[in-house]
Amino acid sequence: MVNHPADSAARCEEAYAKAQELQEKLNAVITFVDPKEQLSQLPEGGLLHGVPIAIKDNVNTKGIRTTSGSRILSNYFPIYDATITKKLREAGAVCIAKASMDELAMGGTNLTCFTGAAHNPWDTRRMTGGSSGGSAALVAAGVVPMAIGSDTGDSVRKPASYCGVVGVKPTYGRISRYGIIPYASSLDHVGYFTRSVEDACITLEVLAGRDDLDVTSSNRPVEHYTEALNDSIQSKKIAILGNVIDSVSNPETVKLFNELVEKLKAAGAVVDTYHFDDKLMRAILPTYYTIANCEAASNHSNLDGIRFGVREDGADMQEIMTNSRTKGFGPLIRRRFVIGSYGLFEANQERIFRKAQKVRRLIVNAMKECFKEYDCILAPASGTIAPFIDEINNDDKLSTDYLVAENYMAMANFSGDPSMTVPMGFEEGCPIGVNLTCPAWHESTMFTIAKAIEDITGYRDLQTEVK
């Protein structure tokens, strides 16, 4: 990923042109950003000097439209950069696109963006996953070597699986969230996509660190994560998440995973099957929806056409707000706000919102118990390859396959532990990934194991020609 200064202009112009060329097929970009002005102001010596990147459209970019995938913010031009935008500029990265996303980051399909659905580069009939699907698609299509996303449930790690790239969600507080349009503040993490574990290490070295503008950011020293690439997985203890394996109905996914496990054992890792309480695993998704929807309803109460957002006509202030929110949000968002507001009513908080917080704590405690013995939790990042867009509503939402196999990764958002997805194999010509979760602040261990998996599979720098 690291660029040679002499190649910077040509590389960025090529990425910009390719993003535009593929837009009709992928629809992965909300706003294109001409790199010329940035190229004229590149700092010297940055780790990402002249590297073209894409940034998810919920990250503030000064003077560049930032919509969070929602019609209500389609006229929002930030007057300041998010901290990570500033860090990327200082490192020499060049943003060529604001990437498509699910509206307000609330979704796992990337079908709800106000500009339309994003399409998977490996098979444009299939979805990218969400909510950071546009970023994943641009990396998988070879447009950019790195793209920024955000992860509240699995919004980086699931698209990484579907698009065949590396997707990283570091420890809560490792990367500043200042200047990022929130979804659910206790669950939101900055994440990113690359095509190799090495590039993932380099990116975290750029983005990590304390930010006085974000009180949740940590002052822990930033490690040299690339050093972890040379470490051995000999005697690393890995817990296979048995609940997920038991819930995956696709035998090809299980076969790919079991083959990987055997190779990890041969490389010296100690691998055991570990089961969480089944009731806790089935509770992950409803707990996530309860907490996330309640926090989102509060976070976005200012999007009313008066304080922020596109304003619709009305006879009085109340009617303006009602019309602006009704027309400004898609049906999924309106439904989630109703659910979240209901859970925050004083009469309901104890039995809905606070109960969900208690269940969250039980799940986090169970993870801590596992990490007393193991260095890493491992499982397929999804039960299947990316679904076809026109079949997305066919899932049985109460099935164990859906509740556990497709949604368990939100547990790392509950705990704030670092978690990442790397490519595991292919089914029907489309990629599928494996997910690793490690204890808080153990990104180096996570990268060591991820690099071992990358070496075993040989899936480094995967990209596809879009047809």
Contacts of 270 (CB under 8 A, 6+ apart): 235, 236, 237, 238
Compute the distance between CA of residue 307 and CA of residue 316 in angstroms, rounded to an integer.
Answer: 15
Contact predicate 108/153, CB 8 Å: yes
Structure tokens that stand for 194 in this block: 């690359």
Q: Which helix (H) or strand (E) holds 422?
A: strand 419-427
**Tokens 């930010």 appear where?**
211
**Tokens 């579907």 appear where?**
162
Compute the distance between CA of residue 193 and CA of residue 146 in angstroms, rounded to an integer.
Answer: 5
| Radius of gyration in angstroms for the set of CA atoms belonging to the chain, rounded to a whole number | 21
68 is catalytic: no
Point out the catalytic residue in the list 8, 18, 56, 100: 56
Structure tokens that stand for 144 in this block: 């950019």
- Which amino acid type is present at position 1? M
56 is catalytic: yes
Point out the catalytic residue in the list 8, 68, 70, 131: 131
Contact predicate 18/52, CB 8 Å: no
Torsion of CA 385, 389, 395, 400, to 10 degrees: 30
Point out the catalytic residue in the list 132, 150, 155, 218: 155
Contact predicate 456/260, CB 8 Å: yes
Extended beta strands in 47-187, E state = 52-56, 94-99, 146-151, 166-169
Strand order in the sheet with 29-32: 29-32, 94-99, 52-56, 146-151, 189-194, 166-169, 419-427, 430-437, 376-380, 237-241, 270-274
Alpha helix segments (H runs only) across 315-352? 317-328, 331-344
DSSP 275: -
DSSP 322: H
End-to-end CA distance of the chain: 25
Contacts of 405 (CB under 8 A, 6+ apart): 244, 247, 248, 249, 380, 382, 383
Alpha helix segments (H runs only) across 45-182? 83-90, 133-140, 157-163
Give DSSP secondary structure letters for 96-114.
EEEEP-SGGG--SSS---T
Residues forming the active site: 56, 131, 155
